[in-house]
Amino acid sequence: MDRRFFLKSTGIGLASFGVMAAAPRFLHQFAAAQTSAKGYGKKKVLVTIFQRGAVDGLNMVVPHGDHQYYSLRPSIAIPGPKKANGAIDLDGNFGLHPSLKPLEKFWLSKQLAVIDAVGSPDNTRSHFDAQDYMESGTPGNKGTRDGWLNRVLQANETKGGSPFRAVSFTQQLPRSLYGRSPAVAMTSLGDFSIKAGIYSQNMKGGFEGIYEQNVKDTLGETGKETFEAVNYLKQANPAQFVPENGAVYPNSALGRSLRQIGQLIKAGVGLEVAFAEMGGWDTHSNQSLGNNPSQGQLANLLRDFGESIAAFGTDLGKHLDDVVLLTMSEFGRTARENGTRGTDHGHANAMFVLGNSVKGGKVYGDFKGLKNDRLYEGRDLDVTTDFRDVFAEAAHKHLGAKDLAKIFPNYTTAKEKFRGYLG
């Protein structure tokens, strides 16, 4: 068994840039985890959801007050709020796709906000590059080794921190959590416990051989204690926390991820950053169904997306005092529909923010409109809010990060650039 296979098969991801020198520190942190039933107390938690593939933000958050929207999208535009299968009105100018109906109650209670015309200053239309730039927090720079979320963790690092400060419900650690601050990737809580337990039982049977000599000594020191964190997780027993307040999560990858994130928050394991993702948003063709633009491929994706987030918000209830959920996608899609009833790679997009500290019930950002002379390169919604300013506001106001220059290198962010979506 080689090192790469071992890390992948255990369901444990190390933020180590592929350099195993980071592993000893990670293992020591696990070994130092408390095995008593004592929790880590209340923590502020940032939950991020990445919509991979570039969601069509113009049909997700519908600019129904701009008549150009309907001129540019004769086949796929979502009808206005007063029409059949129409958008859910937000403020007279913008509306939610009808599949996002479950989110309306959070908008009305001012727990949900929208940030529109947000994105990267880099003009790439490559999924790979754009995702890398957004997750590294350094658009245009492919040389950045760590991710913006990991740098937030580094900035807030304290002694005796939980080994579960950062958890990603993905098969591999996402780019945004790469870095020297330890982070865990798992497909499920149960899967993590089982596989980590197998590793613990077999450590003395030759797993040290996976590592280089300098790492072998560290494994010997931690020995069977390395995965006492698993015992701690078992005692905390997140699975005991069933959905509350009538919340029903979809049986989908995103639904399951958010349900388990909710369980970790309730269990008080010291979670500070959580990551989930949802793919399938690259709708180049057949974005809508037949003559009903409110149904079809995009509608199905948004239904899962909306129901999952709504279940999370409902389930957590008062816990949302300490939680902010932020959604993102690498770029938007073209303002004009293409010849196959779809949309192509664009520029600016929309983000959702959910939480009790969110100044919701408002669309933030500077939406320039969809007239040809206002479009980026004559085809896309223009970026008027740099995504780093959105991230920075969450890092500073919610998680308490002070030195934003270290989190977003070579970029000047300041409170004056914040959109004000957090109180």
Between the CA of residue 405 and those of 107, 138, 140, 387, what are the distances in Å? Answer: 32, 12, 17, 15
| pLDDT of amino acid 3 | 42
| Predicted pLDDT of residue 211 | 39
- What does the pLDDT read at residue 42? 83
Give me 233's structure tokens.
């997780």
What are the C-alpha distances in Å from 105 to residues 44, 90, 135, 411?
A: 23, 11, 30, 36
Which sequence spans correspond to the domains of the chain? 45-188+243-417
- Nearest Cα to Cα of residue 8 among 210, 171, 239: 171
What are the E-state strand segments in 204-287?
273-278
pLDDT in 10s for each residue of the chain, 423 residues: 344 433 433 444 443 322 223 344 554 555 554 433 455 778 999 999 999 999 999 999 999 999 999 999 999 999 999 999 999 999 999 999 999 999 999 999 999 999 999 999 999 999 999 999 999 999 999 999 999 999 999 999 877 678 889 999 999 999 999 999 988 899 999 877 666 555 444 444 433 343 344 444 444 443 333 355 677 788 889 999 999 999 999 999 999 999 999 999 999 999 999 999 999 999 999 999 988 999 999 999 999 999 999 999 999 999 999 999 999 999 999 999 999 999 999 999 999 999 999 999 999 999 999 999 999 999 999 999 999 999 999 999 999 999 999 999 999 998 999 999 998
* 273 phi/psi in degrees, rounded to 5: -135, 130
Q: Which residues of 267-289 are buried (b: 16+ CB within 10 A; e: fewer)?
A: bbbbbbbbbbbbeebbbeeebbe
CATH code of 45-188+243-417, in short, is: 3.40.720
| pLDDT at site 232 | 76
Q: Is 225 exposed, middle or buried (0-12, 13-18, 19+ CB in 10 A)?
A: middle
Query: Rounded CA gap, 197 and 382, in Å?
Result: 50
Q: How many CB atoms lie within 10 A of CB 394?
A: 22
pTM over 0.85: yes
- Identify the three-state secondary structure at position 296: coil
Please report the pLDDT score of residue 182 as a whole number: 86
In DSSP notation, 42-67 reads ---EEEEEEETT---HHHHEE-TT-H
pLDDT of 93 reads 98
Tokens standing for residue 204: 């003395």
pLDDT at 229: 65
Question: Could you write out the DSSP letters of every residue in 104-127?
Answer: HHHHHTT-EEEEEEEE-SS----H
| Two structure tokens written together for 34 | 């408390």
Q: Are 197 and 231 in contact (CB under 8 A)?
A: no
Question: Measured between alpha carbons, how far is residue 40 from residues 43, 97, 237, 266, 394 in Å?
Answer: 8, 39, 14, 11, 22
Residue with tokens 């479950």: 102
Write the single-letter amino acid at 283: T
The partner residues of 364 in beta bridges, in order of sequence, read 115
Backbone CA torsion sign across 215, 216, 218, 222: positive
